[in-house]
Amino acid sequence: MNIKFASRLIISLTLTFLIGPFLIIILAGLSAGDFMTFPPDGMSLKWYIKVFTVESFRESFWLSMLLAVFGTICALILGIPAAYAISRYDLPYSETIKTIVAAPIIVPGIIVGLALLRYLVVPLNFTVTLALFMAHTALVLPYAVRVVSSSLNNLRGDMEEAAVLLGCGRVGAFMRIVLPNIRSGVLAAFILGFVTSFNQVPVSLFLSGPGVRTLPIDMLGYMEITYDPSVAALSALLAFLSVAIVFVAEKFLGFSRYV
Amino acid sequence: MFQNRKEGLALALPAAIFTALLFLLPVGMLLSEGFKVDGLWSMQGYIDFATKPLNQTVFLRTLKLGFLVVLVSAIIGYACAFCIVNLEGRHRGRVFGLIVLPLMISPVARTYAWIVILGRTGIVNDTITGLGLSETPIRILFTETAVFIGLLQLFLPLMIISLVSAMENLPNDVIPAARVLGASWFKVFTKIILPLTKDGLVIGGTLVFTGSLTAYITPAILGGSKVLMLETLLYQRVNVANDFVSAGIIATILIIMSFGANVLLKRIATARD
Amino acid sequence: MSDNFVSLQKLSLAYGQTLVVPHLDLDIRKGELIALLGPSGCGKTTTMRAIAGLMAPQSGHILIDAQDVTRIPANKRGIGLVFQSYALFPHLSAFENVAFGLRLKKLTNSDITKRVDRWLETVGLAHLAKRKPDDMSGGQQQRLALARSLVLEPKVLLLDEPLSNLDARLRLDMRLELQRVQLETGITMVFVTHDQAEALALANRIVLMKDGKIEQLGAPDELYNAPQTRFAADFLGFQNIFEVEDQTIVGKGNALPLSFQTKARYLAWRPGAVTLEKGKYEGKIKSVSFAGEQREFVIEAPIGQIKATTPAANLPRQIGEIIRFDLPSEGVCELRE
């Protein structure tokens, strides 16, 4: 048997399975008809245009965007020092701390949303937006710590010692030597966090209120009411956005090293 | 390694406290609801939950689908990872990029596509009726098969990534060496590749299993209320019946299963040594 | 007082619960080039890190230039350290690497430029000032690291395995470079190495360490010719070391009468000191190998294996043959323990 041919076949089939559905979505969104079908009924851009005119999509898009940006920034502010402590210090209880920080990964999002709603929003009068923001920060934190840690582990520790011996303080060594050298790791963490947060659904299932809905939840709601191709068009547009971000990141940072 | 422990703690504690207080504490409180009936500690909730046939079905289905997705993704993952590792540099990067790509796309979009493909008037059914294999469209959407396909597509990349990086770390030439020593491909896989990539398999398996358990959108869209999974059941119990005891129980089960899968996979992997 | 410029007094060093250096006293003279020599795990690197201030001693004191610096943080001690990996800053150019410490001292720009240029010139890197460390060869990186430390005019320069990352030819260049810098600046240098040849070639004095203790301290020729312990002898290339009881060499349950008088408990010979083809002992040739200028023999004798060398031209003997040999009084080294 020709191994090269077999290997190409396996890769092609897998890629078709993984990416094919997406091409279909893109095309389905181009349909001129009023219902989702494939192959599409004629071609038009009307659904792609309609997406921008739906008020609720616009609002939920901005909410998702803000959550993703500020949640991730917050996660980095908490996560970078934690990652630094874990990789460079003789840290007491380091296993416990690592477990706590990593825990949100295995807690199903739906439970997080429900728990925050029931114990923070209702009794303590947190706003839904604040609860969402906290949930997203906590969910992104493990990724931030992991990516920044791996970046720090690739940076030799003796560089900070060298800086200290040349007269730097501990903080100065971090700002002048460490940070510039893990910049691409931090950026990678930001992008990974942003995408994770932006695409996050289950957390917001319970954490939505009047005027406070994230984009994926809004899309789910829209789908339940109408079966027109605008959700397909929107999905395709979001996919392009994600792909563009990742493409640029990969081009400049070699992003896939950190995933 | 800096030896100042207080300084280290000062850097690490904000993150740990944030997560513990604003994340783990509320979640823990929710879990504890499963052990309460009318405000009193009791296991009655668990007994009631376990005796309902619907709950049993949903629990077993979630478990079964989780394992199936891990199994199938491991098989495809190994085949794929092996092929990818053997590609030359530039090509390998591109293929790897395409495998990672779906992870960056909203699961809503990724799941939505399957409605178009698997629906009554979708591509699959059009093909089947077009070829005359069946008179009427067959039901794929809202079956376990649809959920399985959706989950597999969602989480396969995680398995492939883990296995590719495990295989890249294989020492040079161990496979040719084993072949020269007379091992069949099957032996090469079970005696060389599997033991040396077990860490990747454990990581990938845990990610895929946990992902399948905790996915909400895929069972919600592709399974609907006909094929409930634990996540969708939880949503239903809270939204329809305001039943926080069941919610606490399901949440506990999900977390224990995620933990359990990790421990079990580690056990399986190390047992081979 | 020139005698103890750097002084380690009752120093005890530990990583967590592991005591690496239990109790160390060492005086280093001003302007000397001293080597801390020993196998890995002997505490030499730990001692160097303690001098630099990168780890705090459990007890004891470190004095530099008559000042107790035990409690002074690393960035205020005025000590230079050239790391084994060089630890250059990859995001900064060669110039900025050297300027790093000067900028922290808030010197004026023209002053910084002047000093950096002078040092880049000294180490022969003036033409590479704009280059990033990753685009430089190992030897250039080494010299850059040296310049980066020396530009701050430290009281003491510490070097961690300074020649280990260089190939054989560059090692010689670098050795000359270090000796030249030391001669020109008169700086006190302490370097750590596991390679006896490096220590012998470079140092004025060698501190041989074992298990965190000083095994022997002395000038290179002293150590080379007169090691005092089995450990020191073995480390410095005495491959034949035997115990002595009642004027006989004992080993493997057998005894051979000595041909000379000694009071030592142990005797050691280098392979070159063993005479072949004559003498009162006999052994079987276990292996012969040709090593360029000489031929190396391993001989199986009743007391154990003997390693011997002869000039390559001599003795084309075969494996398995019986050969006579002697362990003569010339070239023997008497060990106290």
Digit-coded pLDDT (tens) for A208-248:
877 788 988 888 888 878 778 888 888 888 888 877 887 77
> Looking at chain A from residue 15 to 54, which residues have their Cβ under 8 Å from any Cβ of chain B?
15, 17-19, 21-22, 24-25, 28, 36-38
In a domain, A39, yes or no: no
pLDDT, tens digit (0-9, with 9 covering 90-100), for B208-264:
998 898 888 899 889 888 889 998 999 988 888 888 888 999 999 998 988 888 788
In a domain, A45, yes or no: no
> Looking at chain A from residue 47 to 86, which residues have their Cβ under 8 Å from any Cβ of chain B?
78-79, 81-82, 84-86
Sheet with C294-301, strands from edge to edge, namely C304-311, C294-301, C275-291, C322-326
Q: Which of A114, A138, A201 sits opposite B217 (nearest CB)?
A: A201
- Residue A111: give the domain boundaries: 55-225+240-257
Q: Does A108 touch chain B (CB under 8 A)?
A: yes
User: B236 to chain A nearest CA, in Å?
Assistant: 11
* Helical packing angle, A55-88 and A46-53, nearest 10°: 80
Could C74 and A161 be called an inter-chain contact, meaning their C-beta atoms sit closer than 8 Å? yes
CATH superfamily of the B42-271 domain: MetI-like (1.10.3720.10)
Segment B18-37 mean pLDDT: 90
Sheet with C67-68, strands from edge to edge, namely C18-28, C6-15, C59-64, C67-68
Q: For position A258, what pLDDT does the model report? A: 52
Could A138 and B115 be called an inter-chain contact, meaning their C-beta atoms sit closer than 8 Å? no
| All chains having 3 or more CB pairs closer than 8 angstroms to chain C | A
Segment A203-209 mean pLDDT: 85
What is the amino acid identity at position C141?
A: Q
In a domain, A184, yes or no: yes
> Element (H or E) spanning C326, and its range?
strand C322-326
Q: Is the pLDDT of residue C253 over 90?
A: no
Q: For position B3, what pLDDT does the model report? A: 63
Q: What does residue C174 show for φ and ψ, rounded to 5 degrees?
A: -70, -35
Q: Is the pLDDT of residue C1 over 70?
A: no
Q: Is the pLDDT of residue A188 over 80?
A: yes
- Nearest CA among C138, C89, C140, C149 for reference residue C116: C149
Segment C64-88 mean pLDDT: 89
In a domain, A252, yes or no: yes
Q: For position C254, what pLDDT does the model report? A: 85
On chain B, the residues whose CB falls within 8 A of the CB of A118 are 26, 29-30, 244
Question: For chain C, where do the domains classified as CATH 2.40.50.140 start and end?
Answer: 237-335
pLDDT, tens digit (0-9, with 9 covering 90-100), for C150-184:
999 999 999 998 888 788 888 888 888 888 888 88
Mean pLDDT of chain A: 86
Segment C8-29 mean pLDDT: 90
Could A198 and B231 be called an inter-chain contact, meaning their C-beta atoms sit closer than 8 Å? no
Mean pLDDT of chain C: 89
Could A167 and C90 be called an inter-chain contact, meaning their C-beta atoms sit closer than 8 Å? no
In total, how many domains does chain A have? Answer: 1
pLDDT, tens digit (0-9, with 9 covering 90-100), for B137-185:
888 888 999 999 999 999 999 999 999 988 888 887 888 888 888 888 8
Q: Which of A156, A164, A177 sits opposite C75 (nearest CB)?
A: A164
| All chains having 3 or more CB pairs closer than 8 angstroms to chain B | A
On chain C, the residues whose CB falls within 8 A of the CB of A176 are 100
Could C100 and A181 be called an inter-chain contact, meaning their C-beta atoms sit closer than 8 Å? no
Q: Does C112 touch chain A (CB under 8 A)?
A: no
In a domain, A108, yes or no: yes
Query: Which are the contacts of C205, defined by CB distance < 8 A and separation ≥ 6?
Result: C32, C33, C34, C35, C217, C218, C219, C220
Q: Rounded to whole angstroms, how far apart are CA atoms C234 and C241?
A: 8
Structure tokens at B84: 């990818």
Segment B7-14 mean pLDDT: 90
Q: Does A106 touch chain B (CB under 8 A)?
A: yes
Q: Is the pLDDT of residue A1 over 70?
A: no
Please indicate, yes or no, whether the overall pTM of this predicted structure exceeds 0.95: no
User: B271 to chain A nearest CA, in Å?
Assistant: 24
A211: left (phi over 0), alpha (psi -120 to 50) or beta: left
Q: For position A256, what pLDDT does the model report? A: 53
Q: For position B89, what pLDDT does the model report? A: 73
pLDDT band at B189 (very low <50, low <70, confident <90, very high): confident
In a domain, A113, yes or no: yes
Question: For chain C, where do the domains classified as CATH 3.40.50.300 start and end?
Answer: 6-233
CATH of the domain at A172: 1.10.3720.10
Segment A177-191 mean pLDDT: 88
Count Cβ atoms below 10 Å from residue B187 Cβ, excluding itself: 13
Correct CATH for C237-335 of 3.40.50.720, 3.40.190.170, 3.40.50.300, 2.40.50.140: 2.40.50.140
Q: Does C81 touch chain A (CB under 8 A)?
A: yes
Q: For position C26, what pLDDT does the model report? A: 93
CATH number at C6-233 = 3.40.50.300
Q: Which of B32, B106, B217 to mutate to test the interface with A (most CBs of A within 10 A)?
A: B106
Q: For position B12, what pLDDT does the model report? A: 92
pLDDT, tens digit (0-9, with 9 covering 90-100), for B109-135:
888 888 888 887 777 888 888 888 777
For the ranges A84-98, A244-258, C254-268, the lowest mean pLDDT is seen at A244-258
Q: Is the pLDDT of residue C2 over 60?
A: no
> Element (H or E) spanning B41, and its range?
strand B40-41
Q: Is the pLDDT of residue A129 over 70?
A: yes
Could A161 and C80 be called an inter-chain contact, meaning their C-beta atoms sit closer than 8 Å? no
